[in-house]
Amino acid sequence: MFIDRAKIKIKAGDGGNGVTAFRREKFVPRGGPSGGDGGKGGDVWLESSEGLNTLLHLRYNPEHKADRGGHGEGSNRHGKDGADIVIQVPVGTQIFDAETQQLVFDFTEGGQRFLAAKGGKGGWGNQHFATPTRRAPKFHYTGRPGEEKELQLELKLIADVGLVGFPNAGKSTLISVISAAKPKIADYPFTTLEPNLGVVDLGEYKTFVVADIPGLIEGASEGAGLGDRFLRHVERTKLILHLVDVSSISGRDAVEDYEIINRELANYNQDLATRPQIVVATKLDALDEPERLEALRQRAARDEKEFLEISSVTNLGTQELIFAVARRLEELKETAVENINLYQQTDVE
């Protein structure tokens, strides 16, 4: 089950208490205070793992508590530090303070760690309070409490390419053809109820990741249909493949569908309106009105967007689409490198 939101409560370990003790040994007159310090409480860490792609394990296990520190003992013995706990989350997880909704950390790659709650310090034993005028202190400090927080976790899939379009536009069929992903495919709307990831193999150890975003409808940016719950998964993609059904089976107008989806992307996040986009006419095997295809081609040309036409069922144009995506991703990568180099040169000057 794909779960992309979870709320958890975390509690770092409390520090152990110091102790009041005195050294009493034969032949050691006036041994003095010997109370040891308490151990530090365990920390709570969050760590990103590429082996996870859902927050399901946290939805049903929402409370996490680290061990407290051990108490100090006589003979200046220090209490044992509490064990840390590490909570694994998928790459792409954002951590928000549940009360203020402030973003506190964003996991963008595997192996990142974030200290979510710090364990309390151990209390001092009475050995620390001995002075020339107070040689037998009979008090100690208790350990400090560990931090306690409530966090909201939200997962945004990290993919190179995002597939968007109306329900039943052919997104799931396409990702099943060009990758090893096996999403549910059927001839009714909203077949896909959760995002699917597929890895496209280009050979020579080159790949790119495609995310199949569940179908959008008019008003999605305001919560209609599956709403903006899944629109956020498009935010991290470098390239958008906008799939539009040009057959008459849907009963909708292809150009109008194209305009509605772009409007919803812009309403949700203005940056998505300028994100590189390839318009893909789908279901050419069921095309019975060629003028529908031509109208969409002209509309895409007016927006200066690359236009391709495919049939995932017959594999018509799918290889050309893969090569076009790979080429565009390489161009975007080169542009990003050039921008970094230009920024570095400007910074030096």
pLDDT number for residue 227: 46
For the chain, domains (ranges, CATH) are 1-155 (2.70.210.12), 161-345 (3.40.50.300)
pTM: 0.69
Task: Identify the segments of the chain with pLDDT beneath 70.
Answer: 1-2, 28-30, 181-194, 215-230, 337-349
pLDDT number for residue 24: 80
pLDDT number for residue 225: 45
pLDDT number for residue 54: 81
pLDDT number for residue 59: 85
Query: CA 101, CA 116: separation in Å to the nearest integer?
Result: 15
pLDDT number for residue 346: 60
Q: Residues 126-151: pLDDT tens digits? A: 999 988 888 889 999 999 999 999 99
pLDDT number for residue 185: 46
Q: Residues 10-43: pLDDT tens digits? A: 999 999 999 999 988 777 666 789 999 999 999 9
